[in-house]
Amino acid sequence: MRREQTPLQRIAADFGESRLALSGLALLALIVLAALFAPLISPQNPYDLAQLDVLDSRLPPGSRSGAGLTFWLGSDGQGRDILSGIFYGLRISLMVGVASTACAVIVGLSMGLCAAYFGGRTDSLIMRIVDIQLSFPSILIALILLALLGQGVGKTIFALIMVQWAYYARTVRGTALIERGKEYIEAATCLALPPARIVFRHLLPNCLPPLIVIATVQVAAAIALEATLSYLGIGVPITEPSLGLLIKNGFDYMLSGKYWISFFPGIALVLTIVSINLVADRLRDVLNPRLQQ
Amino acid sequence: MIVCMFERWAKSAVTGFVCIVLSLAGCVAATAAELRIGLGADVTSLDPHFLNVAPNNNAAWQVYDALTHVDANARLIPGLAVSWRAVDSTTWEFKLRKDVKFHDGSAFSAEDVIFSLERPATLSASPGPFTGFVKPIVAKKIIDPWTLQLKTAAPYAMLPYDLNSIFIVSKKAASGASTEDFNSGKAAIGTGPYKLSRFARGDRIELARNDSYWGAQNGKLAPWDKVTLRILPADTARIAALLAGDVDAIENIPTADLTRLKANAKFRLEQKVSWRTLFLHLDQYRDHPPHLSDKSGKPLAKNPFKDVRVRMAMSKAINRRAIVERVMEGNAIEAGNLVSPPVFGHVAALKPETYDPKAAKDLLAEAGYPDGFALTLYAPNNRYVNDEQLAQTVAQMLARVGILTRVETLPASVYFGKARAGEFSFALLGWGSFSGDLALRALLATPNAAKGYGAWNWGHYSNPKADGLLEQGFATLDEKKREALAREAATLALKDVPVILLHHQLASWAMRKEIAYEARTDEYTFARDFRRR
Amino acid sequence: MPAFVIRRLLQSVLVLGVMSLLVFAGVYAIGNPVDILIDPQAGQADIARAISALGLDRPLVEQYLIFLRQALAGDLGNSFVYNVPAIQLILERMPATLELALAATTLAVLLGIPLGLWAGLAPDSWQGKLIMSGSILGFSLPTFWVGLLLIMLFAVELGWLPASGRGPTTEFLGVQVSFLSWDGMRHLILPAINLALFKLSLIIRLTRAGTREALLQDYVKFARAKGLSNARVVGVHVLKNIMIPVVTVIGLEFGSVIAFAIVTESIFGWPGMGKLIIDSINVLDRPVIVAYLLVIVFLVILINLAVDIVYSLLDPRVRIGEAQA
């Protein structure tokens, strides 16, 4: 009974039906804005060591620094304002998570579709590479890569792409193999449609729903993995902490009662991931062609 | 023991029933006294001659002795040798302790010493061999079962110190033994305060008291018949194990937890200045060292570190008190020496440089850098206590006098290789040494591979006069004279600000209130030194 | 099928070869353990001697060939720092890690599938929403942070469970396990929960997604229309449909569970191989790193094979060996 809508309008309308998803979207928008405008809204540039004073270190929330700045969420071991640190850290964490996942999806999707569609030697070759890739524990690939490359945001993103792409390739292949056996693909093949058209118009859309589920999880995983790498002393540089690194820096103080160093960045991280997931959850329901009645 | 129990009971009787119960609980603990200690690092092997790293040595010290020991102040004291003297300029004579028994009941004699001195060279596949400590010995002679003469090629004052690092094993038990035999306990027969019961790699070491130990203090053995060393390298796991009562004591307390533990009435904290000093090496040999430029990134005309005024300015820019109080949370003292106060060769007259940013700026201007310059400070991130926090704080302080400082931290596995290859021009290093002259030889003597000088002199600082004093000292067998020479060399070299000294770490232990430990400068955790209060 | 299995195994040997070369070159490029472990007082000559005694001064290719020759004879070399065969070291630690990983996976599956089904069958009920919110939280929290919170709450504040380590072990089918004794079980609970949390959330999400999708499939509608009981529809038709992604993910994730045990093991002081590998990387103990990776690769290949076989059992349309057809 719907009016004629463009697909985008339809998706937007469907999306808006869930209040939870809308609030997730609002939260995510706020977080992205905070990250984008971090230099404008932060009381302090937490990455400029010259602006920090170790004499302001580990002050509880609400304290004032020697220079008269108020640390609303307290300060860390270098006298870094936690609030500013969160804004700047959000930038890095979001960038690392989104950029690495996006690249990994593109690589993994292409590889997985190729493997499933062409089969035979192509499939064999790609899946053996995937096997090699998956045989390495992800932390280990990242660890060895970063040990060779050194610290840095770009290098961390690269390492995370290398870690993730094979998951997508394997999942896409698995789903695509099932889809390939279905009648509509056989029909398309019988119609002698070009391979590219079959892959992109028929196989791809059907592989998307599970991919979105996993990609959603992987954005979170990428951010968490980045934190884990930082926990192990590699990953992003210590002078430009991501959320994960902020958590790690305050980690040692959790048992000694100075909770704010780790707690607030932890909350920011959780809120970020939760909001991404709420949005993506709804998107998946909305995008799934078979759920469209 | 019973009397002691009674006294305790009598004291607590007034406070009523609860205390009686407590005393009874104490009584139960006394009959099966077990001490559980959380160690801060993994022990890879119980072969005492395989790998010379602190955690392995710490484990070996429970089971073995050496000819010479060091006391809590890192000063040399008798061990299995009761005395030693220089017979002539190249011969050391050691008198061995009589009536010492190995754990298997066999008697200890000079034969075991000779065997133990020769064993390290038979273990070739070690990344950290003990061979360096026995290398100076060119001949060994047994005068009688309890007298031993060791000859060196040249006069060598450090031999008694070096022998502190060679554990004495039983020749009978260890002949032809593999590392596995030591780990299983078959060959792990020493003369030390504890016998090895079980070694579960990566998890725990179980020990049983050696009731015939020669080193009983005032005739009293350690109060613990059984000791379990739990291997807990993760700081949070170790501290949580103590708080939860899984262990009675832990070593290597994270600075973050010091304040909290101090305030907690259930636990006791023991601290002592450690032998480890942290400082910054500066490239003083290349004209254009890497990672050094003016603030816009253009190369500098010359190497500023070659100018003593610049080095002095950088030293004056460091607020050491802030580092000690904020970064180390009181778990360190400011450094004015390469070695910490209790250590041989420490010069009390050399005080930590005072913090004076104004004077630092003036000195920089005088040296031709009124606008400062830019550099990268390198530091490891898993080697020293709070190493990467320290690096950032130093960068803050240098930035404040106009030196734009970037910080790059690397894991130790990458860091030391790169440092050795000369890839850094400004880098953090920590050093622990028995004596000031050894530290100087490694850190500030003119690099000379053949003589083994300056192996860790990353900045290639060179002072021929100090080198000469060092050489003279190592050939001086009289301890007093040697210490005077070591002090003179240190004073001479440190006047040039060849490195920027930061702080000496404190070593710390935490334990249940009922027990006490004599804190040690060498950072070792000896089960035998834990006492009941 | 045997031909397929043999072909798979042969390919896997190739994988192992390529991988060992990569790791070899990687570790070679980072540095050598002598720089980290040698007594700082040692001179340059001592350092050079130690490096050459370990054979680390030879060209990379030569070192690799030596390794290969020994490996073919079944010897992966001695650990540099433990001085015992690297493979022995790994196998010694493996039961602890496998026990932890299996406990975590079991926990994740036993809780995840029912919760996911519930959330999928009743997506709009408050329970369904609660489960989904919980699962979102589950993978939003970083593992090491959760581990610390668990320790703080259950070990330090409440004192119910031990903070770290593995309990006493008993022999079970020739392997040392700790879950058979009460004390061992107590030690296992917190690390297993910590490691399971992420997988649990993943399985809940996948199960729910699969369930919702299956409910809209024609065969499920048809089954319902035929008047089959709800339990049978869910138990047979829905469950079968969601098993494919779930089995894939459990299979794929089992390797990563073992790898991520690295973090859990270091927080809880669990003496498994994850902790060993971190230490080995820190001191560049190459034989252990290579042996560890070979063991992991071997495990993962076995799991992948198992996943493929289960695939074909669950969905006859995917025939094993099809890739080669």
**Res. B378: pLDDT tops 80:** yes
Q: B70-90: per-residue pLDDT in tens?
A: 999 989 999 999 999 999 989
When pLDDT is cut at 50, 70 and 90, the band that residue B12 belongs to is: very low
| Chain center to CA of A196 | 29
* Closest chain C residue to A267, measured at CA: C141
Q: How confident is the prediction for chain C on average, in pLDDT? A: 80
Pairwise CA distance, residues C321 & C18, whole Å? 23
Q: What is the pLDDT of residues C300-310, one digit of tens each?
A: 777 777 777 77
Q: Which residue of A has its CA nearest to B263?
A: A256
- CB-based burial, B142-157: b 16+ in 10 Å, e otherwise: eeeebebebbbeeebb
Give the mean pLDDT of B498-505: 97
Q: Per residue in C52-82, pLDDT tens?
A: 888 888 888 898 998 889 888 888 889 999 9
Tell me the per-residue pLDDT of B396-422, one tens digit each, with 9 for 90 and over.
999 999 999 999 988 887 888 889 889
C30 and B417 within 8 Å at the Cβ level: the answer is yes
Q: What pLDDT sits at residue B47? A: 95
Rounded to whole angstroms, the Cα distance separating B508 from C168 reads 30
Q: Tell me if B413 and C36 make a contact (CB, 8 A cut-off).
A: yes
Q: What pLDDT score was predicted for residue A216?
A: 73
List subunits contacting chain A, requiring 3 or more Cβ pairs under 8 Å.
Answer: B, C
Contact B396 A254 (CB under 8 A): no
Percent of chain B with pLDDT over 70: 94
A163 touches chain C (CB under 8 A): no
Q: B443 near B456, Cβ under 8 Å? A: yes
* Residue carrying the six token digits 């490996």: C71
Residue C325 pLDDT? 32
Q: What is the pLDDT, as a whole number, of residue B24?
A: 43
Is the pLDDT assigned to residue B27 strictly greater than 60? no
pLDDT mean over C46-52: 85
Q: Which residue has the higher pLDDT, C14 or A55?
A: A55
Which of C249, C243, C242, C258 shows the shortest CA–CA distance to C304?
C249
Q: Between A135, A254, A291, which is nearest C148 by CB?
A: A254
Taken as a whole, chain A contains a residue count of 293
**Is it the case that residue B143 has pLDDT exceeding 50?**
yes
- Chain centroid to Cα B210, Å, comes to 26
pLDDT reading at A125 higher than 90: no
pLDDT per residue over B145-171, tens digit each? 999 999 999 888 889 999 999 999 999
- Give residue-wise pLDDT tens across range B221-280: 889 999 999 998 878 778 888 988 889 999 999 888 888 888 899 999 999 999 999 999
C-alpha distance from B143 to closest chain C C-alpha (Å): 31
Going by pLDDT thresholds of 50, 70 and 90, the confidence category of residue B370 is very high
Mean pLDDT computed over B313-331: 95
Question: C137-156 burial string, b = 16+ CB within 10 Å, else e?
Answer: ebbbbbbbbbbbebbbebbb
| Any B CB within 8 A of C148 CB | yes
For residue B13, what pLDDT band results from cuts at 50, 70 and 90? very low
In the DSSP assignment, the letter for residue B48 is T
Q: How far is A69 from chain C (nearest CA, A)?
A: 29
Q: Which two tokens stand for residue A267?
A: 């909350």
Tokens in use for C56? 């680390």
Nearest residue on chain A to C206, alpha-carbon basis: A213
pLDDT digits (tens, 9 = 90+) for B263-293: 899 999 999 999 999 999 999 999 999 999 9
Q: Each residue of B184-229: pLDDT tens digit?
A: 999 999 999 999 999 988 889 999 999 999 988 777 788 999 999 9
Q: How far is C120 from chain A (nearest CA, A)?
A: 12
Please state the ipTM of this predicted complex.
Answer: 0.80
Q: What residues does B380 pair with on adjacent strands?
A: B410
Render the burial of C93-115: b for 16+ CB within 10 Å, e for the rest: bbbbbbbbbbbbbebbbeebbeb
CA C71 – CA C85 distance, rounded (Å): 12
Q: For an interface test with B, which of C34, C35, C41, C66 has the most B Cβ atoms less than 10 Å from its Cβ?
A: C41
Residues of chain A neighbouring C201 (CB-CB closer than 8 A): 217
Q: What's residue B15's pLDDT? A: 41
Which residue in chain A is spatially nearest to B407 when comparing CA positions?
Answer: A239
Q: Where do we find the tokens 């070695």? A: B339
Single-letter residue type at B174: A
Per-residue confidence (pLDDT) for residue A147, from 0 to 100:
66
Q: DSSP string spanning C233-293?
A: IIIIIIHHHHHHHHHHHHHHHHHHHHHHHHHHHHHHT--SHHHHHHHHHHTT-HHHHHHHH
C156 touching chain A per CB within 8 A: yes
Tokens found for residue B398: 């240098």
Rounded Cα distance, C233 and C220, in Å: 7
Q: Which residues of A touch C260 (CB under 8 A)?
A: 137, 139
Q: Average pLDDT of B512-526?
A: 95
Please indicate whether, in this complex, the C-beta atoms of A134 and C252 are within 8 angstroms of each other.
yes
Mean pLDDT of B468-495: 94
Q: How far away is chain B from the Cα of C87, in angstroms, using its nearest Cα? A: 14
Cβ within 8 Å, pair C18-A132:
yes
Whether A237 sits inside 8 A of B409 (CB atoms) is yes
With CB atoms and an 8 Å threshold, state whether C37 touches B236: no
pLDDT recorded at residue C151: 80
Residue B431 with chain C: CB contacts under 8 Å: 40
Asked if B510 contacts B242 with a C-beta cutoff of 8 angstroms, the reply is yes
Q: What are C293's two structure tokens?
A: 């990776």
Shortest CA gap B506–chain A (Å): 18
Q: Of the candidates C154, C160, C172, C312, which has an alpha carbon nearest to the alpha carbon of residue C247?
A: C312
Q: Which pLDDT belongs to residue A220?
A: 73
* DSSP secondary structure code for residue C82 in this structure: T
> H helices of chain A, where?
7-16, 19-36, 38-41, 82-118, 120-135, 138-149, 153-180, 183-190, 195-197, 204-231, 243-251, 260-287
Q: For residue A137, what pLDDT band results from cuts at 50, 70 and 90? A: low
Question: Are the beta carbons of B366 and A93 closer than 8 angstroms?
Answer: no
Of residues A273 and B90, more confidence is placed in B90
Higher pLDDT, C258 or B348: B348
Mean pLDDT of A151-170: 88
When mean pLDDT is compared across A120-129, B100-109, B519-528, the lowest value belongs to A120-129
DSSP element (H, E) containing B143: strand B137-144
3-class DSSP state for residue A114?
helix
Distance (Å, rounded) from C-alpha B488 to C-alpha B495? 11
> What pLDDT score does B30 carry?
42
Which residues on B lie below 8 Å from A151 (Cβ)? Answer: 408-410
Does A224 sit within 8 Å of C318, measured CB to CB? no
pTM of the full structure: 0.84
Which residues from A are below 8 Å from B290, CB to CB? none
pLDDT, residue B17, reads 41
Q: Tell me which of B84-88, B106-110, C147-151 is least confident.
A: C147-151
Confidence of residue A289 (pLDDT cuts 50, 70, 90): low
Q: What is the DSSP letter of B219?
A: T
User: Tokens 């989904």 identify what position?
Assistant: C132
Average pLDDT (C234-253) is: 76
**Smallest CA–CA separation between A52 and chain C, in Å?**
26
User: CA B412, CA B414: separation in Å to the nearest integer?
Assistant: 5
Given pLDDT bands bounded at 50, 70 and 90, which one contains residue A3?
Answer: low
Could you tell me which residue, B98 or A5, shows the higher pLDDT? B98
* pLDDT interval class at C22 (50, 70, 90): confident
Average pLDDT of every residue of chain B: 90
Q: What's the average model confidence in pLDDT over C312-318? A: 65
